[in-house]
Amino acid sequence: MLEIRVQEMDFSIDAEWSKCRERMGGDGGAIVAFAGLVRDQFEDREVQGLELEHYPGMTESSIQRIGEYAIKQWALLDVLIIHRVGLLNPSDQIVLVMVGSKHRPDAFAACECIMDYLKTEAVFWKKERGLEQSRWVESTQDDRERRSGWEL
């Protein structure tokens, strides 16, 4: 099962974990989750928050493609991708990738791959709010190098 949500509201990792366990039933042997948070620093700049914009339909489609790729590559029982949009403050949750499978290697690899592609391929516009100015954020060279290890 693949579930994608792009939303303004926060999410509960505990609630999503329980739902994943229920959906997998007795077949599940592993759940791997990654939750990303908004940092208050980037390089040498203080960050007061992020503003995330998306294009409804296009954003979900780009994430769907990433999730479907992971499902084809690994033996997965459940994939959940939640990405928040709107105004977010430091320490707010921004993204949740949760992957369930029979065995941990598939869950770990798929979760990491999905996150690497979300950072570089998902259709979002991120603006970092600083004390004196704001700036648009793009994928870093490190993000692109990590993603290049996977084929989509």
The ranges assigned to domains in the chain are: 2-139
Four-way CATH pick for 2-139: 3.30.365.10, 3.40.50.300, 3.90.1170.40, 3.40.50.360: 3.90.1170.40
Q: pLDDT tens-digit profile of 9-31? A: 999 999 999 999 999 999 999 99
Q: pLDDT tens-digit profile of 59-70? A: 999 999 999 999
C-alpha closest to that of 59 among 36, 86, 40: 86
Q: What is the DSSP letter of 28?
A: -
Mean pLDDT of the chain: 91
Span 128-136, average pLDDT: 79
Q: Is residue 54 classed as helix, strand or coil in its secondary structure?
A: strand
* CA 93 to chain CA centroid, nearest Å: 10
pLDDT beyond 70 at 117? yes
Q: pLDDT tens-digit profile of 44-102? A: 778 889 999 999 999 999 999 999 999 999 999 999 999 999 999 999 999 999 999 99
The length of the chain, given as a count of residues: 152
Structure tokens at 135: 């700036």
C-alpha closest to that of 63 among 97, 23, 40, 12: 97
